[in-house]
Chains A and B, each alone.
Chain A
């Protein structure tokens, strides 16, 4: 299985901050990398597919980049509704695997 490692595991930030979450794959996955936002008690929400494709309705302050083994999710200016846990997921090989999550908390 391809291992996905996110960093940091948790992050404290303030409204208006720019934050970047990293995701590293244990082997090359081209751009088969997706990002999700998950809030407690809610369904996970797909933010970005194929490394950088922003899903419809997702604010443009979210952006994704990377290829092969190293990827990033950036939020350009944090809003109160962005505090959540974020997961990356690879779909290059089966089984699809997720990172352990990055919990974004209010400072």
Chain B
């Protein structure tokens, strides 16, 4: 059974770079049927898509975050990563990694448990 697990620092300072990694187990990230993405949820707010990556390295980013986001993939490790630069308190959130279906409804069908990241001065 495919599982996703986020890892990375839980505390990042204002203006610094947030870096998270998602490890995929029980399956391969090198599938032509799925994208791999990041979604976040600030405290008390809804879900916001950050971006997605295909195993070939093709990326798709939220327009509102595009200038600060980089998503990369390491197929040899079945991992993909998120970098968010110049963070502010508004970037405090639970960050989820998720698998997204390429066809069908384009749904996010498997999610990680999420990791809380707090941005503090």
Q: How far apart sit A50 and B107, CA to CA, in the bound complex (Å)? A: 8
**B105→A34 contact, CB < 8 A:** yes
B42-57 to A contact mask, C-beta < 8 Å, 1/0: 0000111100000000
Stretch at the interface among A18-26, A73-81, A92-100: A92-100
A39 CB, min distance to chain B CBs, angstroms: 11
Tell whether B96 is near chain A: CB-to-CB under 8 Å: yes
Bound Cα distance from A34 to B114, whole angstroms: 20
Tell me if A49 and B107 are in contact (CB < 8 A).
Answer: yes
Which residues A16-73 have CB closer than 8 A to chain B? Answer: 31-34, 36, 41-46, 49-51, 53, 55
* A contacts with B, residue count (CB < 8 A): 28
Interchain CA distance A53-B114 in the complex, whole Å: 25
- Given known contacts A44-B108, A95-B63, what 12 new A-B pairs fall within 8 Å (CB)? A34-B107, A34-B108, A36-B108, A42-B113, A44-B96, A87-B47, A89-B47, A89-B107, A91-B106, A97-B49, A98-B48, A101-B46
CA distance A22 to B104 in the complex (A): 21
- Which interface class (under 10, 10 to 19, 20 to 34, 35 or more) fits B? 20 to 34
B contact residues vs A (CB 8 Å cutoff): 46-49, 60, 62-63, 96, 98, 100-101, 104-114
Instruction: List, sorted by A's number, 16 A–B pairs whose CB atoms are closer than 8 Å.
Output: A1-B63, A31-B105, A32-B105, A43-B96, A44-B96, A45-B111, A49-B105, A53-B105, A89-B47, A89-B108, A91-B105, A91-B107, A94-B60, A95-B62, A96-B100, A101-B47
**Do A46 and B106 form a contact, CB below 8 Å, given A87-B46, A96-B49, A97-B49?**
no
Q: Are B96 and A33 in contact (CB under 8 A)?
A: no
- Which one of B47, B105, B109, B112 lies within 8 Å of A98 (CB-CB)? B47
> Is the CB–CB distance between A44 and B111 below 8 Å?
yes
User: Smallest CB–CB gap between A100 and chain B, Å?
Assistant: 5
